[in-house]
């Protein structure tokens, strides 16, 4: 029986309930983190908890739990719920924090931590065939509305962008530009390009979500002597890149093979993507694409 954490208690996940008057429902005010395990161990937990702390500070939410207590709870949940899985599988974990109930200023913030088995079936072909992107007419939320570095679940623009992408090209995912038409990120992943002689290039971090996977990608690039820089990117940079890559918590890193109906990077999964994915596998001690294949072949 899978367990979840809710406001100081561990309980069966099926019993977890949230009042409709919670501001997470009423106003979409939800700070979030998404993690995963490798061989049952949470990856970069300390970095995720530090980003959670920063996000909570940005919106002025003070939990009753300390970061140390939340970290210990996350580790306990991962340990308990991983035992319910096939040892070859892994967990995704979510942490959600809202200001609490809409009525009454004395209400405590709502804190939820839960897990679910990773759905490798979504990724096994992606590692081989890559992902198609569609540039959405919806834009990233400007910094004048909330900081780009805030990790939250107020994501109506992501939802609308992915709906638009699916209508225009079934199976594609949305790419969002900022208010100045510069490349931002996709709805659930950071984006980088690779150019021979220049290396990996990311949009400037001050204008995008501070992706922990992006940090890992930079570390791996450094270990492989691949330069990593940041600069403003436009669509023409993606179209002319030798490779375009996405990076996020669960699938780690993979190729973009098309943009707005035209091939990028030759329309194939590029060698640099494979090199970085292999390095990521070595870092965590798990063959990441083989794990996805194994899950699907059962």
Of 243, 136, 227, the C-alpha closest to 192 is 243
Q: Are strands 199-202 and 228-230 parallel, antiparallel or unpaired?
A: parallel
pLDDT digit string, tens, across residues 15-40? 999 899 999 999 999 999 999 999 99
pLDDT score for 14: 94
**Torsion-angle region of residue 181: left (phi > 0), alpha (psi -120 to 50) or beta?**
left
25 Cβ contact list (under 8 Å, min separation 6): 18, 19
Reported as a single tens digit per residue, the pLDDT across 173-189 is 999 999 999 999 999 89
* Predicted local distance difference test score (pLDDT) of residue 121: 85
Q: Are 243 and 255 in contact (CB under 8 A)?
A: yes
For the chain, which domains are there? 3-118 (3.30.470.10), 124-294 (3.20.10.10)
HEC secondary structure over the chain: CCEEEECCEEEEHHHCCCCCCEHHHHCCCCEEEEEEEECCEECCHHHHHHHHHHHHHHHCCCCCCCHHHHHHHHHHHHHHHHCCCCCCCCEEEEEEEECCECCCCCCCCEEEEEEEECCHHHCHHHHHHCEEEEEEEEECCCCCCCCCCCCECCCHHHHHHHHHHHHHCCCCEEEEECCCCCEEEECCCEEEEEECCCEEEECCHHHCCCCHHHHHHHHHHHHCCCCEEECCCCHHHHHCCCEEEEEECCCEEEEEEEECCEECHHHCCCHHHHHHHHHHHHHHCCCHHHHHHHHHCC
Q: What residue ranges of the chain have pLDDT lower than 50?
A: none
Q: Tell me what pLDDT residue 104 has.
A: 63
Q: Which of 140, 236, 152, 214 is nearest to 180 (CA)?
A: 140
């Amino acid at each position: 029986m899978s367990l979840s954490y809710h406001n100081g208690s561990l309980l069966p996940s099926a019993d977890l309930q949230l009042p409709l008057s919670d501001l997470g429902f009423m106003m979409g005010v939800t700070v979030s983190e998404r993690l995963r395990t490798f061989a049952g161990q949470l990856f970069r937990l300390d970095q995720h908890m530090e980003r959670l702390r920063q996000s909570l500070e940005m919106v002025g939410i003070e939990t009753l739990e300390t970061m140390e207590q939340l970290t210990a709870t996350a580790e306990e949940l991962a340990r308990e719920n991983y035992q319910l899985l096939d040892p070859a599988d892994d967990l995704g974990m979510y942490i959600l924090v809202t200001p609490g109930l809409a009525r009454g200023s004395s209400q405590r913030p709502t804190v939820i931590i839960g897990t679910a088995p990773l759905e490798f079936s979504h990724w096994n072909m992606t590692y081989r065939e890559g992902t198609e992107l569609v540039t959405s007419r919806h834009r990233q939320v400007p910094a004048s509305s909330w900081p780009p570095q805030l990790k939250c679940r107020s994501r109506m623009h992501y939802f609308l962008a992915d709906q638009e992408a699916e209508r225009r090209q079934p199976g594609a995912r949305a790419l969002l530009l900022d208010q100045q038409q510069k490349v931002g990120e996709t709805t659930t992943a950071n984006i980088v390009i690779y150019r021979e002689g220049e290396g990996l290039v990311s949009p400037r971090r001050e204008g995008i979500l501070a992706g922990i996977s992006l940090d890992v990608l930079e570390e791996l690039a450094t270990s492989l002597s691949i330069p990593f820089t940041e600069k403003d990117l436009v669509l023409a940079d993606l179209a002319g890149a030798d490779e375009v890559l996405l990076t996020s918590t669960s699938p780690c890193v993979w190729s973009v093979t098309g943009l707005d109906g035209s091939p990028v990077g030759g329309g194939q999964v590029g060698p640099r993507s494979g090199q970085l994915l292999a390095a990521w596998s070595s870092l965590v001690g798990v063959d990441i694409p083989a794990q996805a294949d194994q899950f699907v072949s059962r």
